[in-house]
Amino acid sequence: MKLSTAQTIYLRWIAQGKSLADIAEIEKKHVSEIQQQLDLALVALSVTSVAAAVAKAKALKLI
């Protein structure tokens, strides 16, 4: 399984406690774009929540 650079970055921000709005502001992107990339990360990691995606990505040393 492979995450895109954006997915990895956004999951890392989430792991640090940032909200979607925070990430959008930091990355100069729309919240909808951040959400879309996180949704794709859920599929790539075969999980159903962002929290599970963060946990799995950490366990796999992707973030």
Cα distances (angstroms) measured from residue 3 to each of 26, 40, 45, 53: 20, 9, 8, 11
State the CB neighbour count (10 A cutoff) for residue 26: 13
Asked whether the predicted pLDDT for residue 1 surpasses 80, the reply is no
- For the chain, give the percent of residues with pLDDT over 90: 97
DSSP string, the chain: ----HHHHHHHHHHHTT--HHHHHHHHT--HHHHHHHHHHHHHHHT-SSHHHHHHHHHHTT--
Q: pLDDT digit string (tens) for 11-31?
A: 999 999 999 999 999 999 999
Whether residue 44 contacts residue 1, with contact meaning beta carbons closer than 8 Å, is answered with: yes
Q: Is the pTM here over 0.75, yes or no?
A: yes
Average pLDDT, the chain: 96
What residues does each domain of the chain span? 5-59
Question: In this structure, which topology does domain 5-59 adopt according to CATH?
Answer: Arc Repressor Mutant, subunit A (1.10.10)
